[in-house]
Amino acid sequence: MAGHKRKRSSKIKNLLGTVLSLLLVYSFMVSFATLAAGTTSFWMSVVSDSMSHKDNPNWRVYFENREERRWLLSKYGIPLTEDVLRTYDTSKFPVKEGFQRGDLIIVKGVSSISEISVGDVIVMRGKNGGLPMTHRVLAIWQKDGEIRLITKGDHNPFPLPQEREIQPEDIIGKVVYVVPKLGWPSIIVQGR
């Protein structure tokens, strides 16, 4: 009987050692990835369908059609310069397929606003401590000598109030890769 207890105790110690080793390796990998990505949030689970292209084939219209672009941007008081009104080939946009709730996004930090372009999908700090928001840059312009951005979820009909005059310091990074469905475990654990 004593030999059986020792074997069981040894198995538990081995299991705990393995778990601690895995946690240490995981912690090292997260630290390395965070440094490599240049952001404290190099991956995030998607908690909404605001960037989904399912049931919304028209998300491209505000980038490709000058009159639709003029109409939408004029609603928010954005100066309608030639640069702001130019149209874009959305087939060349990063993350052109969008993403859905439950996907995992990989985020790269940016050191300068010059790394952000219209069509990029950026992650912004949530207002008043809220969840970060991830939407596509619709336009970039200057206001009082400062760069401003407006974003819109591809699935959303209009920009939300908190994304209408984004300042560079509000940007966490930009999405560089999407892993379908891999964000679900995090969403379930966090109860979102």
Domain boundaries, the chain: 1-37, 43-190
Q: Return d(Cα 125, Cα 64) in angstroms, integer.
A: 28
Q: What is the pLDDT at residue 25?
A: 52
Q: Which CATH architecture has domain 43-190?
A: Ribbon (2.10)
CB 158 within 8 A of CB 152: yes
Count of CA atoms in the C-beta half-sphere (13 A) of 91 = 0
Question: pLDDT tens digits, the chain, 192 residues: what are they?
Answer: 556 666 666 777 676 667 656 555 544 454 444 444 445 557 888 999 999 998 887 899 999 999 999 999 999 999 999 999 999 999 999 999 999 999 999 999 999 999 999 999 999 998 877 889 999 999 999 989 999 999 999 999 999 999 999 999 999 999 999 999 988 988 888 877
- φ/ψ of 133, rounded to 5, equals -115, 140
Q: What is the pLDDT at residue 98?
A: 93
Helix (H/G/I), strand (E/B), else coil: 128: helix
DSSP 8-state code for residue 123: E
Q: What is the pLDDT at residue 130?
A: 80
